[in-house]
């Protein structure tokens, strides 16, 4: 029992489960079996069976978290390779991002209000489409519930990664530029990682969507919530 509670084993288990989940999706071809989703389910089951607390499991997680920042920076490589083309399209890209940001915030706020959600919950849902580091800061500043925001951001990212491209294809949106920007805007890092597997061009535009939506949401979330009476 002491062996499975060791930091080294828990970190190794996390990597093995994620690798196995990735191989499972590749083998079955089922997009719903996203590695992050499968890994979370398997690891939760493992913790429940063994009785290991989340606090104990997360302690060695700092070894993995260390690599998150360089991993996010690595997303900038496709952006750099496509920078010359992106510069020529900067104005239309920015206008699309602005529209996507406003619609993303307004739609979730109106739906939450219609369903009778409390003010704290509505605020927590508003930054759902930006990466967790930014979303949690926005929520904390506006008076929401950071833990709820963190959960929603992950769920939105997973949903976008699983069905995002299919929804875009259903709408006859086939352009790599449009698909990339949409995935980065709506599904943040997880969506960007998904389309980055298709090509550098997809990844570059998804990274643009990820960055611009993060900046715009940080600036517009507060004023939009005020306008909507939250």
Residues in the chain, total:
230
Q: How many CB atoms lie within 10 A of CB 37?
A: 19
Distance of alpha carbon 53 from alpha carbon 166, whole angstroms = 37
**pLDDT reported for residue 102:** 92
Distance of alpha carbon 228 from alpha carbon 9, whole angstroms = 49
DSSP state of 182: H
- In terms of C-beta density within 10 A (0-12 exposed, 13-18 middle, 19 or more buried), how is residue 204 classed? buried
Q: How many CB atoms lie within 10 A of CB 25?
A: 17
pLDDT tens-digit map of 27-78 = 887 777 788 888 888 988 988 888 888 778 877 777 777 776 676 677 677 7
At residue 96, the 3 state secondary structure works out as: helix
pLDDT bracket for residue 111 (50, 70, 90): very high
Token output for 2: 């002491």
> Do residues 128 and 225 make contact, with C-beta atoms less than 8 angstroms apart?
no
Average pLDDT, the chain: 84
Residues 6+ apart with CB under 8 A from 4: 10, 50, 52
Q: Which helix (H) or strand (E) holds 77?
A: helix 76-81
Q: What does pTM read for this prediction?
A: 0.78
Distance of alpha carbon 139 from alpha carbon 181, whole angstroms = 24
Domain ranges of the chain: 7-66, 76-227
């Amino acid at each position: 029992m002491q062996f499975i509670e060791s930091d080294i084993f828990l970190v190794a288990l996390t990597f093995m489960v994620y690798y196995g989940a990735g191989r499972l999706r590749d083998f079955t071809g089922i997009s719903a079996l996203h590695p992050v989703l499968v890994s979370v389910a398997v690891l939760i089951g493992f913790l429940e069976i063994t009785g290991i607390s989340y606090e104990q499991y997360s302690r060695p997680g700092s070894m993995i978290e260390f690599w998150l920042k360089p991993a996010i920076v690595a997303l900038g490589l496709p952006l750099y390779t496509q920078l010359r083309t992106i510069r020529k399209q900067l104005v239309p890209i920015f206008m699309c991002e602005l529209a996507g940001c406003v619609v993303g915030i307004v739609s979730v706020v109106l739906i939450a209000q219609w369903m009778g959600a409390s003010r704290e919950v509505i605020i927590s849902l508003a930054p759902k489409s930006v990466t967790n580091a930014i979303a949690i800061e926005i929520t904390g500043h506006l008076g929401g519930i950071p833990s709820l925001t963190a959960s929603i951001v992950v769920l939105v990212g997973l949903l976008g990664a699983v069905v995002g491209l299919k929804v875009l294809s259903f709408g006859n949106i086939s352009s790599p530029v449009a698909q990339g920007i949409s995935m980065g805007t709506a599904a943040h890092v997880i969506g960007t990682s998904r389309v980055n597997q298709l090509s550098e061009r997809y990844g570059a535009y998804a990274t643009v969507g990820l960055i611009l939506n993060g900046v715009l949401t940080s600036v517009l979330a507060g004023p939009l919530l005020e306008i909507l009476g939250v």
